[in-house]
Amino acid sequence: MVDKKNNLKFKTKNVSVFYGSKQAINKISLDIEEKQITALIGPSGCGKSTFLRCLNRMNDVISNCSVNGKILLDGNNIYSDEIDPVLLRAKVGMVFQKPNPFPKSIFENIAYGPRIHGIGNNRAELTDLVHHSLEQAGLIDEVKDRLDDIATGLSGGQQQRICIARAIAVNPDVILMDEPCSALDPIATAKIEELMSSLSKSYTIIIVTHSMQQAGRVSQKTAFFHMGDLIEYGETPKIFTQPDQQKTQDYITGRFG
Amino acid sequence: MIDKNIDQLKRLKLRKNAEMRLKVYGILSISLALIMLSTLMISIGLSGYSALQQAYVKLEINVDSKKVLDEKGGFSNQKALLVNWDGIVSNSFITNFPEITKRSEKRSLRALMSSNAGYELRQYFQKNPDDLDENITIWLSASDDFDQYMKGRFNTSVDEKDRRLSNQQLKWIDFLAMEKISKLKFNTSFFVNADSREPESAGILGAVVGSTLTLTITILFALPLAVMASVYLEYFAKPGRLTDFIEVNINNLAAIPSIVFGLLGLSVFLGFFGLPRSAPLVGGLCLGLMTIPTIIIASRASIRAVPPSIKDAALALGASRMQAALHHVLPLAAPGILTGTIIGMAQALGETAPLLMIGMVAFIIETPDSFTSAATAMPVQIFMWSDSAERAFYERSSLAILFLVGFLIIMNSLAVFLRRKFEKKW
Amino acid sequence: MSFSTLLLLIIAFSLCSFFFSSSSAFKKIKSATSRPSALPKHYGQYSLAWTLFPAFLLLIVFTIIGPIYVDNFFKQQIALTEASYDKAKIELVLAMIKNISNGSISSDEPKILKLADEYSNYLSKIYLFRTLSVLLLSSILGIIISSNINILKNSRVKVETFYRILFFVSAVIAIFTTVGIIASLLYESLRFFALYPFFDFLFGLHWAPNIAIRSDQVAAQGSFGMLPVLLGTILVALIAMIVALPIGLFSAIYLAEFASKRVRDIIKPTLEVLAGIPTVVYGYFAALTAAPFIRKIGMTLGLDVSSESALAAGAVMGIMIIPFISSLSDDIINSVPQSLRDGSLGLGATKAETTIKVVLPAAFPGLVGAFLLAVSRAIGETMIVVMAAGLSANLTINPLETVTTVTVQIVSLLTGDTEFDDIKTLSAFGLGLALFAFTLILNVIALVVSRRLSEQYD
């Protein structure tokens, strides 16, 4: 395995996904660079979320889903038998469309990941880790006095940042975000976007979004999906100003979508 | 690179083991549950299947027509009463053993025939008066101990004094069986008779009819009320204290022990309204009150599953709320209501405790013929038989269980099937 | 005329009035110039309702009140003729009169025969009056309503209002039933507590209702201390839950979280069908198979196991409750949103960790509710214990000994011919009240707890 660039994180080759007999994505080959934000855009049903869920094998949860092709993380095929999805997901964290904090205290939400992975063996280490994660997620000032409150009582934006902090606490390399702002209001969205930018210094972030503006604001690279195919992939400014493909042009200018 | 440090791999193995353990517990539990339940059914099946057969004895009999026919040649019940049918049976039976002369031996020989054999003979001639004056061969019931011995269910290892059959009697039975004078044949009386003191003539017909009458009342009473109540709660009730209170009541009634409904029936239907004891009418009402919550809960869920857009469409065409509910929503909810009703009825059919309270536990020889005549029901019959001393009743109890459970499984499977078939995702 | 003939007659009347009214409305609408305010069938339904329901209610009232009225009248008659009779004796004479008048017994006492004759006369008069008044009411209302059809009046609204009232009454029956249960249990229990002190019942350590040998003994009543019975009930229910809870819960967890769709599709309906096996069958199994089996095992271990041990009844009851717990818990576990599982799996948790640390805690209130409902069921279960547990009330917590339960006592006290005044009969209602109160509390807590769960995820 020879990578031309050193900072390639994911390398995918001819990835196809089927739900039963229905094909969701078709032979996607896409390389994702380290410590950048890569956005996946496209109309709904185009397969962008399906592709995202392949990257940490969350599709395994769906019973009739099968994945073909190769996905390499740091050069290792993540669908090979030697890779355990449990360990993979510790490396590749995920934030979901709807904020889904566990119905437990804020502290327990953040500490959950480290606990199951055996990071932070005593209460003090764990507390440090929780504080650190909340700090990185920019939430520490808002919640430091009520770590024992139930997380589901927070506002939507705060809940989503709890979910981000929860993902960070496991110390992943990559964070996948599946339309993380679609259930949030504009102010909360702005906060999350700010957070993404600061996180991209230390993490590789891949975000699925239906908002082109958001992709334009936060990402360095953008991939455009349509009907299960990867239409175009390149530097974000280029995609948004002078795309190579007509379909991309049509989508960007709002002729369909 | 995914870190593959030894520590993490060790931890992973432990975590995987824990997962395996949980899965194994689950599989073990399910298998255990299934094993227990199949043990139950198999043990009952093994003890019950033999009741499908019954020992009969072949007798040659000739009855003088003058003894039983009236002047016009019809069968006279009055004259038949005077005939010693039992004597005819035992005389014929004893001719199989010409060597026996002692009175005591004759007595113990006679005991091998069912005490209802004479009655069976009389019934036969009542149906076939043409066979009078003829030499006929007829198969009549043997006693229950005879029957059990022929089926190999008679415990011969016990000391002779403590047995219901002596060694001599066993020898006679062996002889009869060898000469093909006695045989195990299909047990018709189990299906055409009502209860009896003698196991060999006891049947389930009375209980089946009793159950049918009871459930008729139950469904006539419960289904309309439950459907109307569900429509009210889903379509007309305004959210408030009263509605809340009704809901709490329904949910609570669904979980109240069934025996309490029996106490209600005893004190209100029998005590206050003076309705007759042991009647399917009262049983049906008690079971109906018990079933109503079940049907309401299923009906409401089914009505709620119909999307409001259908109701809105009807309303937009100028239909009243009542018309929208009755013309559009209720037909679409009907399969779910039907499923709930079947489940409720199955529950009522298997229910015993409330019927004990209102006296449907009496010993009744007649097949009930109206909603107010004394009756019993299938599960109660099973209960009474399994409480009897005779070994032969256990067997019949098991067979009755097989029938009841078979019927219930058909009902429940039908409900599961209907739910699958009509389960709509809107 | 009998009840059913009368009922059929007024139904026939009302069908007539339905067809008459709807056809006359149809004609009027045809010839009318303005648009009618309702369909012909609404006019028909309107007259049907008026012809049927008032007469039906009258019929019910007569059928219930009539005999009660006659009985009271004759009680007075008897009291007048024989001033020396006390209340119980009057009841006895009345019962005799009734039995003679319907021909089930005979008597040679002329006074009684005369009264019986009068009784049947009186009753037939009441029934004649019932027949006349019901038929009259039905036909008069039917004729008046169906001959006065005004198509300008909107009878649809009236019919619908009527339906709505009917529907409302049906819904309120649930309340009536509860009230009926509480009232009847309270009424009989209060009569019991008038004969036997309440606190002795509640805290007494000795339960022996059958001590009285002759009814004229001075201390003819037995002893009715509920505690041993209650303890027996709890012991049996506890054994049942120890068997059912782990098996049911683990089955549900496996079905909901690990089983493939195919396995689930087979096992779940099977368990549901098995949940429909009548309790009398379990009772039969407990009494004739399980109890001797456990006794045999106990003997080989050198333990003295009673043939009606609490263990046998409880264990079989546990088997009965397994499908109940597993199907309820399965539904509850399934109602936990998938997003929580995704969140946990996305962090790299295994399925087991997700189940134990996220799904089960989220489902916990619902599971507690299911558990309480199962306990309530175990306590109220009757047939298994009637057939497999004993009658003697031992104050023990040894599962190998015989205990008795509340339901067993109710059944044994109330089967056979029961006299309403007997203290034994009344004590059964006292036990019934305790049983009702106990299960009511469990049910209501279960309801409140699981309602909170559904609010959380709606």
Which CATH number is C452's domain given?
1.10.3720.10
Residue B103 lies in a domain: yes
pLDDT tens per residue, range B147-177: 888 888 888 888 888 888 888 888 888 888 8
Mean pLDDT score, B112-124: 87
Q: Look at A61 and C349 and tell me if their CB atoms are within 8 Å.
A: no
Residue A257 lies in a domain: no
User: Between A and B, how many residue pairs show a Cβ–Cβ distance under 8 A?
Assistant: 23
Question: Can you give the pLDDT at residue A3?
Answer: 42
The count of other CB atoms within 10 Å of the CB of residue B251 is 20
pLDDT tens per residue, range C128-166: 888 899 899 988 888 888 888 777 777 788 888 889 999
pLDDT tens per residue, range A134-161: 998 888 889 989 999 988 889 999 999 9
CA dist B269 and B255 (Å) reads 22
End-to-end CA distance of chain A, in Å?
38
How far does C267 lie from chain B, in Å, by closest CA? 8
CA dist A80 and B109 (Å) reads 83
Report the CATH number that the domain containing residue B413 is assigned in CATH: 1.10.3720.10
C68 CB neighbours in chain B (<8 A) are: 274
Question: Can you give the pLDDT at residue B224?
Answer: 95
Residue A61 lies in a domain: yes
Question: Can you give the pLDDT at residue C418?
Answer: 59
Question: Can you give the pLDDT at residue C167?
Answer: 94
DSSP string, B33-99: HHHHHHHHHHHHHHHHGGGGEEEEEEEEE---HHHHB-TTSPBPHHHHHHS-HHHHHHHHHHTT-TT
Instruction: Give me chain B's average pLDDT, please.
Output: 88
Which residues contact residue A144 at a Cβ distance below 8 angstroms, ignoring those fewer than 6 apart? Answer: A131, A134
Question: Can you give the pLDDT at residue C103?
Answer: 67
**Nearest residue of chain A to residue C364 (CA atoms):** A103
Residue A207 contacts residue A177 (beta carbons within 8 Å)? yes
pLDDT at C69 over 90: no
**Nearest residue of chain B to residue C156 (CA atoms):** B320
How far does B137 lie from chain C, in Å, by closest CA? 39
C356 CB neighbours in chain B (<8 A) are: 22
B26 CB neighbours in chain C (<8 A) are: 250-251, 253-255, 258-259
Coil vs helix vs strand at A63: coil
Angle separating helix axes C406-414 and C423-457, nearest 10 degrees:
140
Can you say whether the dihedral through the CA atoms of C90, C96, C102, C106 is positive or negative?
negative
B11 CB neighbours in chain A (<8 A) are: 117-118
- Looking at the structure, do residues C148 and C245 belong to the same domain, yes or no? no
CA dist B222 and B284 (Å) reads 9
Q: Give the one of B2, B11, B16 whose C-beta lies nearest to A118's C-beta.
A: B11
B246 CB neighbours in chain C (<8 A) are: 171-172, 174-175
pLDDT at A40 over 70: yes
> pLDDT grade, residue B425 (50/70/90)?
low
Residue type at position B198: E
C 152-211 residues inside an 8 A Cβ radius of B: 156-157, 160, 163-164, 166-168, 170-175, 177-178, 180-181, 184-185, 187-188
Residue C16 lies in a domain: yes
pLDDT at A210 over 90: no
Question: Can you give the pLDDT at residue B426?
Answer: 57
pLDDT tens per residue, range B262-297: 999 998 888 888 788 889 999 999 999 999 999 999
- Looking at the structure, do residues B250 and B281 belong to the same domain, yes or no? yes
Residue C161 lies in a domain: no
To test the contact with chain C by mutation, choose from B24, B204, B216, B232 the residue with the greatest count of C C-beta atoms within 10 A, namely B232
- Looking at the structure, do residues B226 and B352 belong to the same domain, yes or no? yes
How far does A74 lie from chain B, in Å, by closest CA? 5
Instruction: Give me chain C's average pLDDT, please.
Output: 86
- Looking at the structure, do residues C385 and C262 belong to the same domain, yes or no? yes
Domain stop point among C99, C131, C153: C153
A116 CB neighbours in chain C (<8 A) are: 347-350, 353, 357
- Looking at the structure, do residues B306 and B247 belong to the same domain, yes or no? yes
- Looking at the structure, do residues C397 and C248 belong to the same domain, yes or no? yes
Question: Can you give the pLDDT at residue C273?
Answer: 76
Q: Give the one of C339, C347, C353 whose C-beta lies nearest to A93's C-beta.
A: C347
CA dist C278 and C216 (Å) reads 42
Question: Can you give the pLDDT at residue C218?
Answer: 44
Residue A12 lies in a domain: yes
- Looking at the structure, do residues C266 and C133 belong to the same domain, yes or no? no
Coil vs helix vs strand at A10: strand
C358 CB neighbours in chain A (<8 A) are: 102, 112
Residue A141 lies in a domain: yes
> pLDDT grade, residue C359 (50/70/90)?
very high
Between C84 and C457, the more confident residue is C84
How far does B8 lie from chain A, in Å, by closest CA? 8
- Looking at the structure, do residues C228 and C147 belong to the same domain, yes or no? no
Which stretches of C381-422 are DSSP H helices? 383-388, 406-414
Angle separating helix axes C40-81 and C155-195, nearest 10 degrees:
30
Q: Look at B271 and C420 and tell me if their CB atoms are within 8 Å.
A: yes
Residue C131 contacts residue C4 (beta carbons within 8 Å)? no
End-to-end CA distance of chain C, in Å?
57
**Nearest residue of chain A to residue C350 (CA atoms):** A86
pLDDT tens per residue, range A179-191: 999 888 999 999 9
Q: Look at B225 and C287 and tell me if their CB atoms are within 8 Å.
A: no
Question: Can you give the pLDDT at residue B4?
Answer: 55
Torsion of CA C273, C278, C282, C284, to 10 degrees: -140
> pLDDT grade, residue B127 (50/70/90)?
confident
Does A166 touch chain C if contact means CB atoms closer than 8 Å?
A: yes
Residue B15 lies in a domain: no
DSSP string, A133-162: HHHHTT-HHHHTT-TTSBGGGS-HHHHHHH
Q: Which chains touch B (3 or more CB pairs under 8 A)?
A: A, C
C 298-337 residues inside an 8 A Cβ radius of A: 337
B342-356, B363-377, C317-331 — which is least confidently predicted? B363-377
Residue C215 lies in a domain: no
CA dist C446 and C440 (Å) reads 10
- Looking at the structure, do residues B310 and B375 belong to the same domain, yes or no? yes
Angle separating helix axes B117-127 and B85-94, nearest 10 degrees:
110
- Looking at the structure, do residues C121 and C270 belong to the same domain, yes or no? no
Q: Which chains touch C (3 or more CB pairs under 8 A)?
A: A, B
Q: Look at B252 and C444 and tell me if their CB atoms are within 8 Å.
A: yes
Angle separating helix axes C360-380 and C423-457, nearest 10 degrees:
170
Domain stop point among C153, C184, C206: C153
Does C77 touch chain B if contact means CB atoms closer than 8 Å?
A: no
- Looking at the structure, do residues C303 and C431 belong to the same domain, yes or no? yes
Residue C42 lies in a domain: yes
> Degrees (nearest 5) of the Cα angle A208, A214, A219?
70
> pLDDT grade, residue C112 (50/70/90)?
confident
Question: Can you give the pLDDT at residue C32?
Answer: 76
Mean pLDDT score, C80-90: 76
How far does B18 lie from chain A, in Å, by closest CA? 12
Mean pLDDT score, C178-185: 94
Can you say whether the dihedral through the CA atoms of C420, C424, C428, C429 is positive or negative?
positive
**Nearest residue of chain A to residue B7 (CA atoms):** A118
Question: Can you give the pLDDT at residue A2?
Answer: 42
To test the contact with chain A by mutation, choose from C260, C265, C347, C356 the residue with the greatest count of A C-beta atoms within 10 A, namely C347
Q: Look at B252 and C447 and tell me if their CB atoms are within 8 Å.
A: yes
Mean pLDDT score, C384-404: 87
Q: Look at A116 and C347 and tell me if their CB atoms are within 8 Å.
A: yes
C260 CB neighbours in chain A (<8 A) are: 63
Instruction: Give the number of domains in chain B.
Output: 2
CA dist C353 and A96 (Å) reads 19
Residue type at position B77: N
pLDDT at C217 over 50: no
Closest CA to C381 of C295, C314, C334, C298: C314
pLDDT at B92 over 50: yes
Report the CATH number that the domain containing residue A147 is assigned in CATH: 3.40.50.300
Q: Look at C164 and B232 and tell me if their CB atoms are within 8 Å.
A: yes
Cα-only R_g, chain A: 18
Range of the domain at C142: 3-153
CA dist C240 and C372 (Å) reads 13
Range of the domain at B351: 205-422
Considering only CB atoms, which residues of chain B are within 8 Å of chain A? 1-3, 7-8, 11-12, 15-16
> pLDDT grade, residue C457 (50/70/90)?
low
Reading the block at residue B130, the tokens are 């043409």
User: Between B and C, how many residue pairs show a Cβ–Cβ distance under 8 A?
Assistant: 272
Question: Can you give the pLDDT at residue C245?
Answer: 95
pLDDT at C106 over 80: no
How far does B240 lie from chain A, in Å, by closest CA? 27
Which residues make beta-bridge pairs with B60?
B137
> pLDDT grade, residue B1 (50/70/90)?
very low
Residue B196 lies in a domain: no
Which stretches of C154-226 are DSSP H helices? 155-195, 198-203
- Looking at the structure, do residues B386 and B290 belong to the same domain, yes or no? yes
Range of the domain at A52: 8-252
**Nearest residue of chain A to residue C257 (CA atoms):** A61
Three-state DSSP string of A82-96: CCCHHHHHHHEEEEC
Mean pLDDT score, C34-42: 78
Instruction: Give the number of domains in chain C.
Output: 2
How far does C2 lie from chain B, in Å, by closest CA? 12
Residue C138 lies in a domain: yes
Cα-only R_g, chain B: 30
Residue A7 contacts residue A34 (beta carbons within 8 Å)? yes
B1 CB neighbours in chain A (<8 A) are: 74-76
Instruction: Give the number of domains in chain A.
Output: 1
Question: Can you give the pLDDT at residue C219?
Answer: 47
pLDDT at C221 over 90: no
**Nearest residue of chain A to residue B4 (CA atoms):** A87
Mean pLDDT score, C69-88: 79
In this prediction the ipTM stands at 0.89
Mean pLDDT score, C393-403: 86
Mean pLDDT score, A171-181: 92
Q: Determine the distance from the C-alpha atom of residue B186 to the mean position of all C-alpha atoms in its chain, rounded to a whole number.
A: 20
Which residues make beta-bridge pairs with A67?
A17
Residue A166 lies in a domain: yes
DSSP A210: S
DSSP B267: I
Residue C320 lies in a domain: yes
Residue C194 lies in a domain: no
A88 CB neighbours in chain B (<8 A) are: 2
Q: Give the one of A87, A117, A118 whose C-beta lies nearest to B2's C-beta.
A: A87
- Looking at the structure, do residues C137 and C50 belong to the same domain, yes or no? yes
CA dist A101 and A108 (Å) reads 10
Mean pLDDT score, C312-336: 93
Q: Look at A101 and C343 and tell me if their CB atoms are within 8 Å.
A: yes
Three-state DSSP string of C20-76: HHHHHHHHHHHHCCCCCCCCHHHHHHHHHHHHHHHHHHHHHHHHHHHHHHHHHHHHH
Question: Can you give the pLDDT at residue B66?
Answer: 82
Domain stop point among C153, C188, C204: C153
Residue A2 lies in a domain: no
pLDDT at C182 over 90: yes
Mean pLDDT score, C244-272: 91
Question: Can you give the pLDDT at residue A1?
Answer: 39
Residue A140 lies in a domain: yes
- Looking at the structure, do residues B73 and B107 belong to the same domain, yes or no? yes
Residue C376 lies in a domain: yes
